[in-house]
Structure 1
Amino acid sequence: MKTWFITGVSSGFGHEMARRLLADKNRVAGTVRREGSADDLDLTWLGHVDVTDLPKVREVVDAAFAELGRIDVVVMNAGYGLFGAAEEVSDEQMQHQIATNLLGSIQTARAALPHLRAQGGGRLIQISSVAGLAAFPGASLYHASKWGVEGFIEALAGEVAPFGIGVTLVEPGGARTSFAGGSLKIGQPLPAYDGTPASFVRGLQQGLVEIPGDPVEYAARVIESAGVEPAPMRLVLGADSQQAVTAALRNRLAQVEG
């Protein structure tokens, strides 16, 4: 039995991971933004926080460690997608996307680190995306948040390895969660982008784009990775993610080599 701390357990990967972990008799501390949004989960501990509130994030993480003692795995999962061409997105949408996906994850990890060091180790798992390594027109602000958190986590892994803290980036492709249907935000469409590569995201919100990945399988893979030593730096999930990441990295290498 392990104790897990997962941000954003009301839906998506966070919800599925919490459900599976609880069924296997693990202790699960979860966070939600809205009261009552995780009532179907018999969580060991529940915190209410919007991860854009950085002081509150630290307060909630500190409280979870204080009440539960040792926490073995901390999962930075809370986040959402903001799609649309760069100029279709409002200033407020841009700021909220970065505050949630990037700063919220960074602060959760920073708040957990003193506790993980004090207990002699643990595991940090960042739910990223294929969008953290491959970029597509129509998702520039989402990519900004995911590429930013990838850089932070990869550097952090080297910083905390001497303390027995393992770090993993999870990079799933498309998965049948609430991402596309519920939490996904779209900028205000501009006619100039009709029929351009950036316009594909409009079909995603309308359910016109097929999403292949199984969130149940992906959640199981993430949970399994927490028992692997040393911690895998990356966990790429889904054939679509594997193909897109491989192509992106090959193209980048070709560009570097000239």
Structure 2
Amino acid sequence: MSKTWLITGTSSGFGRALTEQLLARGDRVIGTVRRLAAMDDLKARYGDLLTVMSLDVTDTDRVREVVAAAFGDEGRIDVVVNNAGYGLAGAAEELTDQQIRHQIDTNLVGSIQVIRAVLPFLRRQGGGRVIQLASMGGQIAIPSLSIYHATKWAVEGFVESVAQEVAAFGIELTIVEPGMARTNFGAGSLVMAEAMDVYDATPSGDFRRAFAAGAVPNNGDPVKMANAMIDSVYANPAPRRLALGSDAFAMIRAALVDRLSALDAQKAIAVSTDVEDGEPLPAAGGIPQAA
């Protein structure tokens, strides 16, 4: 049975791969891009199956306009894919304030506002799926991607919470965590900060040189990954997370095992800070205080 999809960032990468496969199988796609001409070839091939709308997800008012128009035109949208985003690389000290703000506004605030905009429509229609593109970088961290990681870790926490808020309405959310894939991430959508010489002999400098030399392992097939995302929509219940790529699986697993081991080693410290039986509550009534 065909479905109707709303996908942000369809001009390249996973958004493009998803759109091509969905159209080929006869699904309807409303794709958003910053430049409408980027979808001319697919529009010419698939006609009314594809609707293209201009959107920069950092423009919250426009996000709401596009979402309202899409649901108004289609009546029902089965799946929303929150895909628009890019990577920013450089040691934290190398990044400019403007670069940091734009990364956060695109990857985090933009993703949040798209989800907030679609929820009332999904709720009124009785449910639907939201696929949030994160990254293996939402579970691990490597030097030179600190702000990128900040946005991906944060959006995962947002989705985890929202999924619990809206489950009663039949709305399910899946966080997709791809590893490196042969998209335009390195060639076009990874912004490199201006290098500082002081970081040349550090892991940040190593990362910069490896990326420039194409020495970062990159075995992920974006078409196969897009297929896995599409298949996840038919899983019941929806998977909360979907790791894609052997690198994503290995690196996320190693990070989680290490994190769990470190937590277990601190159990005695953690439980020692509880209120003792019979001990009066603190003056604040036992309400947790912000760190």
TM-superposed CA distance for 1:206, in Å, is: 4.6
Equivalent residue for 2:168, pick from 155, 162, 165: 162
Determine the structure 1 residue equivalent to 2:30. Answer: 29
C-alpha contact (below 8 Å) 1:181/1:205 kept by paired residues: no
Higher Cα Rg, which structure: 2
The residue correspondences of 1:23-172 to structure 2 (distance < 5 A) are 23-42=24-43, 44-172=50-178
Q: Secondary structure at the match of 1:45?
A: strand
C-alpha contact (below 8 Å) 2:200/2:206 kept by paired residues: no
C-alpha contact (below 8 Å) 1:7/1:30 kept by paired residues: yes
Cα distance in 2 for residues equivalent to 1:173 and 1:200:
19
Give the AA of the match of 1:61.
Answer: V
Cα distance in 2 for residues equivalent to 1:116 and 1:171:
23
C-alpha contact (below 8 Å) 1:181/1:207 kept by paired residues: no
Structure 2 gap segments, 5+ residues each = 44-48, 266-291
Range 31-40 or range 233-242, more displaced: 31-40
Cα distance in 1 for residues equivalent to 2:84 and 2:111:
8
For residues 46-96 of structure 1, what are the alpha-carbon distances to aligned partners after superposition, in whole Å with 9 as ceiling and x for unaligned? 110110001111110111000111000000000000011101111000000
Give the AA of the match of 1:39.
Answer: D
C-alpha contact (below 8 Å) 2:32/2:54 kept by paired residues: yes
Name the structure, 1 or 2, with higher relative contact order (CA <8 Å, separation 6+).
1
Runs of 4+ residues over 3 Å off in structure 1: none
**Does 1:232 find its partner at 2:239?**
yes
Range 203-212 or range 152-161, more displaced: 203-212
C-alpha contact (below 8 Å) 2:36/2:53 kept by paired residues: no
Determine the structure 2 residue equivalent to 1:253. Answer: 260
How many residues align? The count is 258
Q: TM-score, normalised by structure 2?
A: 0.87
Cα distance in 2 for residues equivalent to 1:40 and 1:179:
21
Q: TM-score, normalised by structure 1?
A: 0.97
Cα distance in 2 for residues equivalent to 1:206 and 1:60:
40
TM-superposed CA distance for 1:108, in Å, is: 0.5
Determine the structure 2 residue equivalent to 1:244. Answer: 251
Range 193-202 or range 227-236, more displaced: 193-202
The residue correspondences of 1:141-220 to structure 2 (distance < 5 A) are 141-202=147-208, 203-220=210-227
Q: Secondary structure at the match of 2:14?
A: helix
Give the AA of the match of 1:245.
Answer: I
Cα distance in 2 for residues equivalent to 1:238 and 1:194:
30
Structure 1 gap segments, 5+ residues each = none
TM-superposed CA distance for 1:205, in Å, is: 4.2
Cα distance in 2 for residues equivalent to 1:64 and 1:223:
20
Q: Secondary structure at the match of 2:39?
A: coil
Cα distance in 2 for residues equivalent to 1:144 and 1:195:
24
C-alpha contact (below 8 Å) 2:136/2:178 kept by paired residues: yes
Q: Percent identity?
A: 55
For residues 99-146 of structure 1, what are the alpha-carbon distances to aligned partners after superposition, in whole Å with 9 as ceiling and x for unaligned? 000011111111000000000000000011000001111110000010
Give the AA of the match of 1:233.
Answer: R
Q: CA RMSD in A?
A: 1.0
